[in-house]
Structure 1
Amino acid sequence: MRPVAGAERKTTWLCAVAVFTIALVPLVGYLAPLGFAPLLALCGLLAIPGLARPRPASPPAMALLVLVIWALVSLAWSPGAPNPGDLKDGDALESVTGLKLLFQLALYGSAIAALRGLSEPSARRVATVLAIGVLALALLVALDGISGASFYQWLRTVIHDPIRPDLAVVKVSIATYALALLFWPTARIMSGRGWTPAAFVLLGAVIIGSLALSADASWAALVFGFVAFGAVKLYGKMAARLLVPAVAAPFVLGPVMLLWGVHSGLVNWLHRHVPRSWDARLDIWAFTADHVQTHAIRGWGLDASRTFGAAIPLHTHNASMQLWLELGAIGAALGGIFFSWVAYRIVGLTEESREDGAIAAGALVTYLTIGGLSFGVWQEWWLALGALTVIAFDISRKD
C-alpha cells in the first residue's frame, strides 16, 4: 500500500488543479464558453509543478510547433498581419494570433502532459466531478433549449444585461459543442461504473439541446462520431486503420474536392436543397478553394481569411480549408500530420482496448466534424476544448 499512498501524495496538487478545472466546466460552458481558453491556460500554468522532469516533445507536439512557427513566418506576407507600429501595449500584442498560438501550445500542452500523471485514486475523484458536471450541464442546456433560452435571458436580466431572445439561443447553443465532445469520455466513465442509464440520459439531453437550439453541427458531429465509434467497436483495428486516411483526406484533398464539386455542378445542386446557413457555407468554401490556387504552397498568410470582406466573414468555417488558404500546402500538411498521427495512435489504443479505441475515434471524428463545419481553426476556446477533451479522456481511462 505504501507505493500507492506515495503516488497519491505526489499528485495531490495535480488532483486539486484537475478538480478545480473540471468543476468549472458546467459554469463556463453555460455562461461563457469563450472562457474555456483562460481556464485551460490557467490549468496549464498551475499544472507546471506537476511536470516532474523535462520530457522529449512528442511527434504531434512537434508537428504543432512547426505549424505555429510557419504561421508566424507567414505574417511576413499576410494581408492580415498587424502593423508593427501598433504593437506597443499588451492589448495590441494580444491580437497577434501567432503569439497566442505559441502560449496556447505551451500551456495547453502543459495541462495535458501534467494531468496525465494523475494517480488512479485522484483520477477517479476527478472523473466523478466530470460525470456529474457534464450531465448537469447537458440537462440545463436541454431544458433551456426547449424553453427558448428563457432561463439564460432571466439570468442576463438579473445582472442588468438583458439580451434578445434570438441572441440568447445562439449563446446557449455554444455549450452544445463542448457537450458533444465531452460526451465521449463522460459516457465511458458512466458505463464503466455501471451508470448506463445516466449515459443514455446524457446522450438524449445533448441531442435534445442541439436540436432545440438549432446547433446543427453538434448533432451532425455526434452522428458521425457514432459511426466511427460503432465501426471501431465492431471491427477493431481494421476500422481504426481506415480512420487514418479518412482523417487525412480533407487536409490533402480539401480544395480539389471543392473545386470538383463546383465544376461538376454538385455545389449548385446543393445550393437549391440546403438551409440558408449551409448555403452560405457553400459560397465561402467555393470562394476559398478558388483563392487557394493563387498561393497554393505558401498560402495567403496567417489571418488572411479576415481580409476578404463579405466573401469570408472572419473565417472559412472549415479547419482544413482555412489552413490551405492561410498557410498553403505546407500548413495543411502539418495539420494533416497532427490529426493523422492522433488517428494512428487510436489504432494502437484499439489493440489495447477496443472500447477505448472506439471512444477515442468517436471523440476525434466529433471534433473534426465540428471543426469542418463551424468556427475558425485558431479560435482559442475551440483549441482549449480539444485539449480539455484529451484530458477528460485520459482521466476516464484511469477511472
Structure 2
Amino acid sequence: MTTTSAGSEKGTPWLTGVMVFVFVMTPLLGYLAQLGFAPLMALAGLLVLPVMGRPRTPTAPALILLLLAIWAAVSMTWSPAAPPAGSLKDYGDVEKVTAVKLFLQLALYGAAVAAALRLSARGADRVATVMGFGVLALAVFVGLDALTGAAMFQKFRVLTGDPIRPDLAKVKISIGCYVMAVMFWPAAAALLRRGKRASVVLLLVGVLMASLLSSADSCLVALAAGGAVWLMIKGLGKVGGRLLTLAVAIPFVFAPIAVLWAIQAGFWGWLHGLVPPSWDARLNIWAFTADHVQDHPFRGWGLDASRTFGDAIPLHTHNAQLQLWLELGAVGAALAGAFFCWLAHGVTRTAETDRGAAAMTGAALTSYLVIGALSFGVWQEWWIAVGALAVVACAAVRLSSGEYNDELVEISSIG
C-alpha cells in the first residue's frame, strides 16, 4: 500500500483547473450531449500530459487493460466486422476502428485518471465540491424537465434549429439518468462531507424522479443494487468487499452458461411472459448470444462481431459480459473480469481504513456494471468515458478526505 503525497507533485494547480473544467462540463453534457463525454475525457488527458512527468511502471489494472486491447486487436484478424483491406486510407478511417480507439482511450482516459491521483488535498476538495454540486444541478434540471415531458429540451432543440419529437426528446434526456446513476455515489459523498444533507436528499429525489418519468428502468435497478452494496460494505467492511468481488466475478465467468441453463430449465420462457416488450427483446438477444458463444468459446467471433448478426443483435448485446464472451471469447471475458475484480478488491482494502469511501466506490462500481449488463455496448466511447469520470470523481473525494490510497483506482500506465 502506498500513499501519494499529492501536494508535493508539480503542476497540481493546472491539474486542479483541468479537473474543475471536466466537472463544470459534466451537467451540461449530461443533459444536452452525453456522447460528448468521450471527447471531454480525451481532452482532459491531453491537457494534463505536459505536467505528468516521466511515465511510471504500469500498474496491474493498466496491464490488464493493455492486454485486453491487444487481444481485441488480434481478434480483428478473424472478425467478420474487420474493415476490408485497403479501406483505411487516412487517419480518419483508422481512428474509427474500435481496436485503435481502445488504445487511444487507455492512454488518454488513463492520463486523466492518473492526473486525478496527483491532486493536492486543497485541489481535490475544490474538484469534489464542483463535482458534487454539478451532479446535483444535473439531477434537479433533468428531473424538472422530465416532469414537463422534456419540454425544455425540445425548446432548446428548436432554438438550435434542430427540432425533435416529444417522444425522442424524452429518450434523449433519459440518457442523462445513466450518468447520474453512476455519479450519484461520489456526488452524495462529496456533499455529505460538506454537511449538505438536504442537498443529498434533493439529489436522490432528482435522480429517482428523472429515472421514473423517463422510463430509465436500468438506472433504477443500478441505484438499488448500488444501495445494497453501499449498505453491505458499510455494515460488513472487508467481508462486504470480498462479497462484492465474488459478485463481480460470477457474471464474467458464468453469463453464457447461466443463460443456456435458464433456457433449458424453462425459466427463460417463464420470464418472457412477465416482462414488458423492451425487456422481452433483451431476453431474445441474450438467448441468441449465448447460443452463438458456443461456436467459438475460447477466441470469440472477433471484435465488433455483434454488429454482423442483423436483427438478432441490434448493434450490441445489451449485456457487457455476453458481448465480451461473444466477441473475445473466454480470454476477453477473463481479462475484463480480472480488471473489475481488481477494482472490487481495492474496495476491500479501502474498507480496512475508510468504510465510507469503500462503500462509495463499491456502489459506483456496482451501478456502472449493472447498467453495462442491461443497456449499453462494451465499446461505446462515451460510456467508457463515464466510467473514467466516475473513477476521477471517487479519487477526488478520497483525496479530499486526507486518507487516500492510489492502488484502488490507478488504471493508467501514464503518470
- TM-score normalized by the length of structure 1: 0.97
Say whether the 8 Å CA contact 1:319–1:376 is kept in structure 2: yes
Contact kept in structure 2, 1:229 and 1:359, CA below 8 Å? yes
CA contact (8 A) 1:8 1:121 kept: no
Please tell me whether the aligned partners of residues 226 and 366 of structure 2 are also in contact (alpha carbons under 8 angstroms): yes
Size of the alignment, in residue pairs? 396
Give the drift of 1:49: 2.4
Q: Is the 8 A contact 1:47 1:115 kept in 2?
A: no
* Residues 4-26 of structure 1 deviation map (CA, whole Å, 9 limit, x = unaligned): 99748731111111111111111
Equivalent residue number for residue 304 of structure 2: 303
Instruction: Specify the SS of the correspondent of 2:55.
Output: coil
Q: Residue 349 of structure 1 aligns with which residue?
A: 350
Alignment of 1:7-26 (within 5 A): 7=8, 10-26=11-27
The answer to whether 1:244 aligns with 2:241 is no
The amino acid across from 2:62 in the alignment is A
1:131 aligns with 2:132: yes
Alignment of 1:1-399 (within 5 A): 7=8, 10-399=11-400
Distance 1:246 1:332 in 2: 15
* Coordinate RMSD, CA, aligned: 1.3
Distance 1:63 1:108 in 2: 15
Q: Deviations over 1:105-147 (max 9, x none)?
A: 0000000011210001111111221122111111000011111
Equivalent-residue separation in structure 2 for 1:112 and 1:361 (angstroms):
17
Are the equivalent residues in 1 in contact too, given 2:42–2:109 (CA < 8 A)? yes
Is the partner of 2:164 in helix, strand or coil? coil
Q: Which runs of 5+ in 1 are unaligned?
A: none
Q: How far, CA to CA, are the matches of 2:167 and 2:207 in structure 1? A: 20
Corresponding residue number in structure 1 for 2:409: none
| Runs (4+) off by over 6 Å | none
Amino acid in the other structure paired with 2:52: L
What are structure 2's unaligned runs of at least 5 residues? 401-415
The answer to whether the 8 A contact 2:307-2:316 is kept is yes
One-letter amino acid matched to 1:344: H
Structure 2 distance, partners of 1:270, 1:373, is 15
CA–CA distance in structure 2, aligned partners of residues 134 and 84 of structure 1:
45
SS at 1:295 equivalent: coil
- 8 A Cα contact 1:224 1:365, kept in partner: yes
Q: How far is the alpha carbon of 1:342 from its aligned partner?
A: 0.7
**Quick one: which amino acid aligns to residue 233 of structure 1?**
K
| 1:91 positional shift | 3.0
Rate the CA distance shift 1:167–1:114 in 2: closer, same or farther, 3 A.
same
CA deviation profile, 1:19-55 (whole Å, cap 9, x unmatched): 1111111111111000000000000111112323321
Change (3 A) 1:72 1:5: closer
Q: Which amino acid aligns with 1:287?
A: F
Q: Which moved more, 1:309-318 or 1:7-16?
A: 7-16
Q: TM-score, normalised by structure 2?
A: 0.94
| C-alpha distance in structure 2 between counterparts of 1:49 and 1:283, whole Å | 49
- Deviation of 1:220 after TM superposition, in Å, equals 0.8
Q: Percent identity?
A: 55
What secondary structure, in the 3-state scheme, does the structure 2 residue paired with 1:214 have? coil
Question: After alignment, is 69-78 or 236-245 more displaced?
Answer: 236-245
Alignment-mate amino acid for residue 100 of structure 2 = L
